[in-house]
């Protein structure tokens, strides 16, 4: 296929699809409704942070594999495949706001296509959406649904290394132009209906979210029981039917996808008289998790009024500067309401709405000059800082590790009180010592 592929929307799904397809040897046109964004992209400035993204973007611009447009006609008219990757945020009632998807389809309806186009919807939408939009497309093209399973921070890598490719279409033949683009990946393809593909997407995310809530429940139980969640979850994850992924306990899942997707499945289920079970429980556990972390800190330092809390991490996860629906931000807000001031350090976040009196600082050690230290994002570099470098700065000696990323033994050895999520059992050193003495009996 020599025609360029057009991508509508240059968020992380659109950009990952664009650069991934360019890596596979296709020419790609990117369109965005925000002209300043297009302008920055033309100059090689990515719209969000991801390792290796600037280099990759620069490479494909220089090799003329990608072009950016602020006119949909110019971007799409020569394409046979047009991918829609625009946002579908949650409304207050949990339903998905599909106005950007609808606007994209309506815009494309006015394009004078040189050939009959295949329109590929990649935004996450509730089941039934693609079928209901297909009437708008039928007079001038085919509409199919191809969900993405891309994680922020590794989206291009995930695009090029999918576990499976899912494509939903009215007939198998309609899926072919899109699947042909990805042939070189040699991955299993699930050909199915459009509604099935939509359900695969939102239920996959609901399951991953459920797994995190399960890990948090287990870790909370470990904390109450005096057990060690690291060992318990590792032991569970070794069972190949369960698997080790998405069993990291912490402050709960954040970001623009999981909460929104589970809410959306719950909303649709409720319309069919279902959904009061697992979907609701997944969200309930997640909503409770920030409060648990705050309570652990409170147990150690008492009232927050007049305290200064050092915070490591604000992004909703490591390797991104995204603070959308970040539970770290929710915790910081709540601490601010209770009278604490925060010194916040995140390696990637340089602007954030913080409570009055709190501020972003430029180093982890600067943030740690406080009454207590709270770790809220799982940046691996936090674990690499020697605790003796910050121990003396923490006036009340307390470290609450909301992501279980620090080495508890090293923190304690530096003279600090360490609390993690379900990490109240004996420390690794104590376990090794008692194991050694048991073996010598």
* Interface contacts to ligand UDX, rule CB under 6 A: 148-152, 205, 208, 212, 246-248, 250, 253-255, 257-258, 316-317, 378
How far is it, in rounded angstroms, from Cα 241 to Cα 229?
19
Nearer to ligand UDX, 48 or 140 (CB): 48
Shortest Cβ 317–ligand UDX spacing (Å)? 4
For helices 129-137 and 194-225, the axis angle rounded to 10 degrees is: 150
Q: What are phi and psi of 272, to 5 degrees?
A: -105, 15
Q: Which is nearer to ligand UDX, 76 or 262 (CB)?
A: 262
Strand locations in 135-211, DSSP E? 142-145, 165-168, 189-192
CB-wise, 163 or 276, nearer to ligand UDX?
A: 163
Closest distance to ligand UDX from the beta carbon of 164 (Å): 12
Q: Does 202 qualify as catalytic in the annotation?
A: no
**Closer residue to ligand UDX in complex, CB, 28/323:** 323
Handedness of CA 397, 399, 405, 407 (dihedral sign): positive
Alpha-carbon torsion (201, 206, 208, 209), positive or negative: positive
Q: List 144's β-bridge partners, or say none.
A: 120
For residue 42, how many C-alpha atoms fall within 13 Å in the half-sphere facing its CB?
Answer: 11
CB of 11 to ligand UDX, least distance (A): 11
Residue 344: strand pairing partners = 311, 360
Instruction: Give 117 or 290: the residue with its C-beta nearer to ligand UDX.
Output: 290
Q: Which is nearer to ligand UDX, 203 or 361 (CB)?
A: 203
CA dist., res. 325 & res. 286, Å (int): 12
In the complex, least distance from residue 62 CB atom to ligand UDX, rounded to whole angstroms:
28
CA angle 54, 57, 60 (to 5 degrees): 150
| Token pair belonging to 371 | 């009454």
> In this structure, are residues 257 and 11 in contact, taking their beta carbons and an 8 Å threshold?
no
d(CA 401, CA 323): 19
Q: Residue-wise over 79-95: b if at least 16 C-beta within 10 A, else e?
A: bbbbbbbbbbebeeebe
Residue 12 CB, nearest approach to ligand UDX (Å)? 8
Q: For residues 197 and 167, give the distance between their C-alpha atoms in angstroms, rounded to a whole number.
A: 6
Question: Using an 8 Å Cβ cutoff, are 311 and 343 in contact?
Answer: yes
Residues pairing with 120 in the sheet: 83, 144
Q: How far is the CB of 153 from ligand UDX (least distance, A)?
A: 7
Burial of 270 (0-12, 13-18, 19+ CB in 10 A): middle
Least distance from C-beta 207 to ligand UDX, angstroms?
A: 11
Active site residues: 257
């Amino acid at each position: 296929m020599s025609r360029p592929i057009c991508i509508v929307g240059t968020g992380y799904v659109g950009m990952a699809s664009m650069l991934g397809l360019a890596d596979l040897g296709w020419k790609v046109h990117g369109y965005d409704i925000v002209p300043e964004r297009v302008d920055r992209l033309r100059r090689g400035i990515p719209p969000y942070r991801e390792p290796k993204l600037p280099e990759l973007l620069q490479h494909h611009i220089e090799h003329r594999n990608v072009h950016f447009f602020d006119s949909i006609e110019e971007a799409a008219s020569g394409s046979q495949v047009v991918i829609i990757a625009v946002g579908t945020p949650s409304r207050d009632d949990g339903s998905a706001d599909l106005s950007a998807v609808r606007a994209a389809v309506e815009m494309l309806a006015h394009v004078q296509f040189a050939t009959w186009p295949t329109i590929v919807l990649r935004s996450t939408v509730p089941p039934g959406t693609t079928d209901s939009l297909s009437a708008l497309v039928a007079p001038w093209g085919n509409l199919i649904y191809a969900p993405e399973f891309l994680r922020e921070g590794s989206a291009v890598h995930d695009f090029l290394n999918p576990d499976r490719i899912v494509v939903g279409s009215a007939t198998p033949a309609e899926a072919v132009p899109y699947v042909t683009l990805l042939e070189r990946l040699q991955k299993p393809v699930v050909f199915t209906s459009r509604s099935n593909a939509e359900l695969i997407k939102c239920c996959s995310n609901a399951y991953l979210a459920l797994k995190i809530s399960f890990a948090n429940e287990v870790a909370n139980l470990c904390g109450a029981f005096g057990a060690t969640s690291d060992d318990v979850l590792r032991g569970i994850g070794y069972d190949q039917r369960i698997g080790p992924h998405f069993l990291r306990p912490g402050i709960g899942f954040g970001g623009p996808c999981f909460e929104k997707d589970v809410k959306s499945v719950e909303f649709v289920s409720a319309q069919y008289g279902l959904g009061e079970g697992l979907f609701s429980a997944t969200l309930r556990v997640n909503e409770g998790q920030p409060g648990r972390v705050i309570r652990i800190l409170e147990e150690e330092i008492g009232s927050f009024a007049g305290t200064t809390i050092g915070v490591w991490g604000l992004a909703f996860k490591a390797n991104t500067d995204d603070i959308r629906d970040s539970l770290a931000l929710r915790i910081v807000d709540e601490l601010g309401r209770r009278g604490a001031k925060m010194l916040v350090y995140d390696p990637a976040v340089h602007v954030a709405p913080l409570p009055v009196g709190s501020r972003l600082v430029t180093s982890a050690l600067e943030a740690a000059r406080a009454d207590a230290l709270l770790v809220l994002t799982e940046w691996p570099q936090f674990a690499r800082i020697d605790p003796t470098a910050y121990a003396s700065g923490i006036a009340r000696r307390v470290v609450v590790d909301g992501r279980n990323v620090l080495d508890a033994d090293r923190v304690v050895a530096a003279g600090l009180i360490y609390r993690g999520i379900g990490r109240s059992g004996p420390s690794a050193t104590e376990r090794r010592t008692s194991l050694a003495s048991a073996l010598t009996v």
